[in-house]
Amino acid sequence: DGTMPELASQSLDPWLDQAALPVAIASLGGGRPTATLAGLDGDVSCHWRAMPLYFARASDEDISRLQEIAAPNRIKKVLKTHEPFRRMIYQGRGAKVRALFDRANLPPTEKAIRNRIKRQKLWMR
């Protein structure tokens, strides 16, 4: 019948991590990645839920890659329609968020990172 038990308890709001991620994890057999996916969410990719968190936690290489990908006008036109992308990538707020943190010594919890960003009025979703 095509039902997926992995989605039974998921809210299907339009968030990637709530709809697409469980399907992707289920298609890979569920659970933690095996050695064949070593580096996922680390060396190979960077999972993020909000642009300020991405700028706070991502490596310099990841930020450079994002700026390179977001530079062409045809991409920029689309990304600028979403306020967090416009402000963080194109208007320099991402650089302000990065300046708040030493990526080699990040706060231990995401909540502490979010709170520091919020205190500077740079938080957005």
Per the CB < 8 A criterion, the answer to whether 10 and 20 are in contact is no
Residue partners of 70: CB distance under 8 A and separation at least 6? 76, 79, 85, 89, 90
Q: Regarding predicted confidence, which is higher, 3 or 39?
A: 3
- Are the C-beta atoms of residues 51 and 63 closer than 8 Å to each other? no
Is there a contact between 52 and 117 (Cβ–Cβ < 8 Å)? Answer: yes
65 and 115 fall within a common domain: yes
Closest C-alpha to 8, from 49, 19, 17, 28 = 19
Identify whether residues 9 and 65 lie together within a single domain. Answer: no
Same domain, residue pair 76 and 15 = no
Overall pTM > 0.85? no
Per-residue model confidence as pLDDT tens digits over 90-125: 999 999 999 999 999 999 999 999 999 999 999 998
Give 23-64 pLDDT, tens digit per residue. Answer: 777 776 776 666 666 655 556 567 678 999 999 999 999 899
| Domain match, 71 and 45 both | yes
Residue 36 lies in a domain: no
Q: Domain range spanning residue 70?
A: 41-119
Domain tally, the chain: 2
Among 103, 95, 102, which residue's Cα sits nearest to residue 122?
A: 95
How many Å apart are CA 100 and CA 72, to the nearest integer?
A: 28
Residues 45 and 16 in one domain: no
Residue 24 and residue 46 share a domain:
no
Whether 125 is in a domain gets the answer: no
Model confidence at 78: pLDDT above 70: yes
Q: Which letter does DSSP use for residue 105 in this model?
A: G
